[in-house]
Chains A and B, each alone.
Chain A
């Protein structure tokens, strides 16, 4: 999801291709943080 969103954002905004990885990497970290929180607080707890 992060990949698709940032690629679309990059295409729309016109960022140079070489800078796309960082624009993918940053939101991916945020998504990882959300996933971690959901895992430890909701999924792991109910197991």
Chain B
């Protein structure tokens, strides 16, 4: 266990990290004069920063803390998620979306995803203000999960203090406000460079250190086999221990579902797609593709594989982990039920850990970096969408807000979003992670199809873009309230119980997209109000031009 005397390493890492963020914020302030500088870093980002910013935004603390638990409990096959994240979430995202998004956003002067969709479909009002509001609201909900993840980890800085969680939440909020308000996207992307390296070192270190300690893959596998046998009927693979190592097996359906959701979900996520808005030229995207693929492959593989390494640390690892957790939480049944979330904390801080304290502190820095790199984009994009799309160009457009005022208000709303997210974090709802996955599905429901179709197909109409988004959003909301099987007892939810269980539930992202795709094309086909041909010819000619601007 970590005692008060051990926290010195944690404080050294955290203070050094905060100092670095402050420096980047101050450096970036000089580069941030207009709202374009603030939101899309002046469209000046080269291949290395683009790739690392993309990768660092892709993965949050969930990959470092939640993912290893899945591998531990549900088998080595979860490493396959690395492949789908790599091929669809990164390679094809850069290849299909990268340069077209960059050029189209440049041509249309768009600095947010709602603005790009609205300008592409020549919409003056409905798409822009509705998606601006949806993005602002759901990105804030999403941010809560990031804050909870960070605060849970930062509690180790205050051992034995009753309000450690609350103090940690406030610390997260102050840090985020301080450097984002000053530096905007420039500061966030510059810090991504260092943060992505910290993430890489932390996650590679946990795998390499573990393998060295147990005598390589052979030693790890021997310990896992012993642990599977010792765990008996309590294990998901009790009937066939060898199945833990095999793909496919009885746990393959949830794995395939999650791998597709996490791979394709990035395509319509505003915090991911706006990475391409920031890129400088065609070479940034092309060279960035290679760098991003390498970074994502290493980090994702090590993160998923670390669950296997952690399980292979001891022949009685599952029993050891549960005993350690029981001591930590006083046997609290709610915490014990989520024992797989404590795989990595156990590996790092159990009394017989093979990892030195300085490495544990470094890994804490990695997880903090993973959270902040995702959180900062959510905050900037959420604030920008609310001010730029919902107000400046939407509901409040008659007020003629200038870009200078919009920049000031966007900075101010960064503070507002963080404070709202902090207040929601204090409430700490039990099913927040699933709620955030739902928020993520809702974001994609409104943006994914109109965004991608708009890059390649001239036939889409603004009514189709708006209505397919509304329909998909409604489906996503209704599906979650009607069928989601993990609602807390007493809420009267789900409205239609008994259809799905935890292992058979189909994620609302898949359902909403299955509705949005045909809806978009059918409405476009029957819509008599076709888009302006001259505008589209001009736009697509520019997007397809073979230049390196």
Contact = CB atoms under 8 A, between A and B. Distances in A.
Contacts of B245: 16, 18-19
B297 interface: yes
Q: How large is the interface on A (under 10, 10 to 19, 20 to 34, 35 or more residues)?
A: 20 to 34
B301 A26 contact: yes
A41 B286 contact: yes
A32 interface: yes
A36 B289 CA distance: 9
B244 to A, nearest CB: 9
Contacts of A32: 91
Contacts of A22: 79-80, 82-83, 247
A34 B290 contact: yes
B247 A36 contact: no
B216 interface: yes
Contacts of B301: 26
Contacts of A8: none
A25 B246 CA distance: 16
Given A14-B216, A26-B83, A26-B301, A37 B286 contact: yes
Nearest to A16: B245
Nearest to A27: B297
B218 A14 contact: yes
B95 interface: yes
A3 interface: no
Interface string A7-23: 00000011110110110
Contacts of B221: 14, 16
A19 B82 CA distance: 13
A44 B340 CA distance: 49
Q: How large is the interface on B (under 10, 10 to 19, 20 to 34, 35 or more residues)?
A: 20 to 34
Binding site of A, secondary structure by majority: helix, strand, loop or mixed?
Answer: helix
Interface in B214-249: 216-218, 221, 245-247
A37 B83 contact: no
Contacts of A5: none
B87 A18 contact: no
B294 interface: yes
Nearest to B79: A22
Contacts, number: 62
A27 to B, nearest CB: 8
B216 A33 contact: no
Contacts of B293: 29-30, 33
B76 interface: yes
Interface in B103-127: none
Nearest to B292: A33
B481 interface: no
B91 A33 contact: yes
A19 B83 contact: no
B287 A26 contact: no
A34 B371 CA distance: 30
Contacts of A26: 82-83, 86, 297, 301
Contacts of B87: 25, 29
A11 B221 CA distance: 14
A40 interface: yes
Nearest to B84: A25
A22 to B, nearest CB: 5
B83 A33 contact: no
Interface of A: 13-16, 18-19, 21-22, 25-27, 29-30, 32-34, 36-37, 40-41
Q: Which 5 A-B pairs have the closest CB atoms?
A: A16-B245, A18-B246, A33-B293, A13-B217, A14-B218
27 contacts: A13-B216, A13-B217, A14-B217, A14-B221, A18-B245, A18-B247, A19-B245, A19-B247, A25-B83, A25-B87, A26-B82, A26-B86, A26-B297, A29-B83, A29-B86, A30-B290, A32-B91, A33-B91, A33-B289, A33-B293, A34-B290, A36-B289, A36-B290, A37-B289, A40-B286, A41-B283, A41-B286
Interface of B: 76-77, 79-80, 82-83, 86-87, 91, 95, 216-218, 221, 245-247, 283, 286-287, 289-290, 293-294, 297, 301
Given A22-B247, A26-B83, A37-B286, 14 more contacts: A14-B218, A16-B76, A16-B221, A19-B76, A22-B79, A25-B87, A26-B82, A29-B83, A29-B86, A30-B290, A33-B294, A36-B289, A37-B289, A37-B290
